[in-house]
Amino acid sequence: MTFPVLGLVLIAAIAHAVWNLAAKSVTGKGFAFVLGYHGLSAILLAPVAAVIIATGAQPLNWGLVGAAALSAVFHIAYSVALQSGYDHAPLGVVYPTARGTGPVVTIIIAVALLGERPTLAEALGAFTVIAGIAVVTIRPRGGDGPTTSDGLRRGLAWGGLIGAFIASYTLWDDFAVNHVSDSPLLYFAVSEACVGLIMTAGAFTLPGGQDRRADLREILRNHKRALVTVAILSPLAYVLVLYAMQQAPVALVAPVRETSIIVGTLLAWWFFGERNVLLKLAGALVVVTGIGLIALG
């Protein structure tokens, strides 16, 4: 992995952690909030997509639309599960568990089924990053953090489910940007449009649709800052990752992007009173060591 690609992934990691902090601030209205920020992202990306198509840089075809639609399904599952997880468990448990589980599954599938073969240094670095993430999630026995045992169990369960969805969209999108679309930006713009259309249809056809529409109106009135933050930083973070996956194996991009876990857990400590900060910093050091090994590889 080259240093420019590494830089893309690290910038994406910071943006990802910040938007998750904003998402955690909106509770009890998961479906509506996900619809709101994906819909706003689709609107913001539409002019960019139109320019790409108009200039002929990347044609819009049914293959691209189909791939983007499947990606949208994975991203809807991930986004709704993430908001539900934040409703039921602390950020400092859900976020690191989800981000740690995702790359483990991704690496296993990428090596076993996709034939990717990282160098020894890159593979060692990837698993060192994962080890650092594991250190961040440790809750010492008798620790003074606010997380209860029930909250920890719920966080681990939700995090595991979210991590499975992360692996699903990561592997599919890696395939799509390398075999279906030459433009990650157009691919993601179409995917966001599909998310908006699917979820809007759900808001009118699924049971409880009237309540979800009322929730959306409340979010548009009272949660504008969180909505705009996620709508901008979430696409930025993921488009950078898509470009990185065109230039480096997904088995390496997946764990490096999870350095966002360090930023996320420190933000959880700062804003939500999560403790054990020294342990989190030790995990950060392990993660940085892993990144260095990947860069050298």
Q: Which long-range contacts (CB under 8 A, 24 or more apart) does 212-221 make?
A: 212/31, 212/32, 212/35, 213/32, 215/29, 215/31, 215/32, 215/33, 216/29, 216/32, 216/35, 216/36, 218/29, 218/32, 219/26, 219/29, 219/32, 219/33, 219/36, 220/36
For 21, phi then psi, to 5°, come to -60, -45
How many C-beta neighbours within 10 Å does residue 111 have? 15
Q: Give the pLDDT score at 135.
A: 76
Q: How far is CA 97 from the centre of its chain?
A: 12
Q: Give the pLDDT score at 187.
A: 96
Q: What is the largest CA-CA distance in the chain?
A: 61
> pTM of the prediction?
0.82
Cβ(249)–Cβ(116) under 8 Å? yes
For 59, phi then psi, to 5°, come to -75, 150
Q: Give the pLDDT score at 137.
A: 64
| Measured distance CA(255)–CA(146) in Å, rounded | 28
Which DSSP string corresponds to 208-270?
THHHHHHHHHHHHHH-HHHHHHHHHHHHHHHHHHHHHHHHS-HHHHHHHHTTHHHHHHHHHHH
For residue range 235-265, what is the model confidence (pLDDT) as tens digits?
999 999 999 988 888 777 877 777 777 777 7
Cβ(23)–Cβ(245) under 8 Å? no
Q: Give the pLDDT score at 146.
A: 47
Q: Give the pLDDT score at 145.
A: 47
Q: State which residues of the chain have pLDDT below 70.
A: 103, 136-149, 151, 272-277, 280, 295-297
Q: Give the pLDDT score at 141.
A: 55
